[in-house]
Amino acid sequence: YWSWELPECPRVKPVAPEATPRAPETTPSVGEGVLWRWSVGKYGILYRIGWVGAVIVLFFIALGLYGTIGTIVWLFNWRGFLADLTVGIIVIALVGVLVLMTRNTLRLLFGSNAREVVLTSDGFTVTDRSGNVMFIPRDDALDSICISRTVAYGNWPYWNIEFIMIISYGGVTYRVPMNMGDFNRLQEALSRAWGRGVRNC
């Protein structure tokens, strides 16, 4: 009894710190990869450029109208303040109509209520101007989306808005203008991923 001794606690062998193991590199799955992306930013810039060009053209149209109508009034020997005022009102009215037509045309070509449209192999994700996100699954996407062709102006494929993609899903409709380059990239991505393209409206 008196010869019993407390057992020694086992000593813990120091372990050298190991390097933190690296997480294995993973390749994003096909469903996570972006196949095609559309953003309103470029088309907003084109909208502003279109307005600058329209203002310049409308200015020269106003000068031409003023000169033409003024000449007609002068030939009828109608002069004075009242004649000038009448010519000015007519010119302003005609240019005002042209401004409204130009605004509607530019909005039709470049305007969109969507901020971004992203295509993955799972479907389309649409973000509107308020930041609300709507996902359209693959099974419903191509039945909810169609392409409408517009009139091309000149021979400038980057500037011409030749296509309008109409997205109608869940009671919400989005208009997405596209030039030829964006349209071709969309159709190519859909053909590779889904084996189909967007139908015509």
Instruction: Determine the straight-line distance between the first and last CA of the chain, rounded to whole angstroms.
Output: 100
Position 148 confidence tier, pLDDT thresholds 50, 70, 90: confident
Residue 20: per-residue pLDDT: 42
> Tens digits of per-residue pLDDT, 112-122?
788 889 998 88
For the chain, give the percent of residues with pLDDT over 70.
77
Mean pLDDT over each residue of the chain, to the nearest integer: 76
Residue 6: pLDDT band with limits 50, 70, 90: very low
Per residue in 42-93, pLDDT (tens digit) is 777 777 887 888 888 889 988 898 888 888 888 888 888 888 888 889 889 9
pLDDT of residue 104: 76
Pairing of strands 114-120, 172-178: unpaired
More confidently predicted of 22 and 104:
104
pLDDT given for residue 160 in this prediction:
64
Sorted by where each begins, the domain ranges of the chain are: 43-110, 114-200
What string of DSSP letters covers 1-51?
-TT--PPPPPPPPP-PPPPPPPPPP-PPPGGGS--EEEEHHHHHHHHHHHH
Structure tokens at 110: 């470049």
Higher pLDDT, 7 or 148: 148
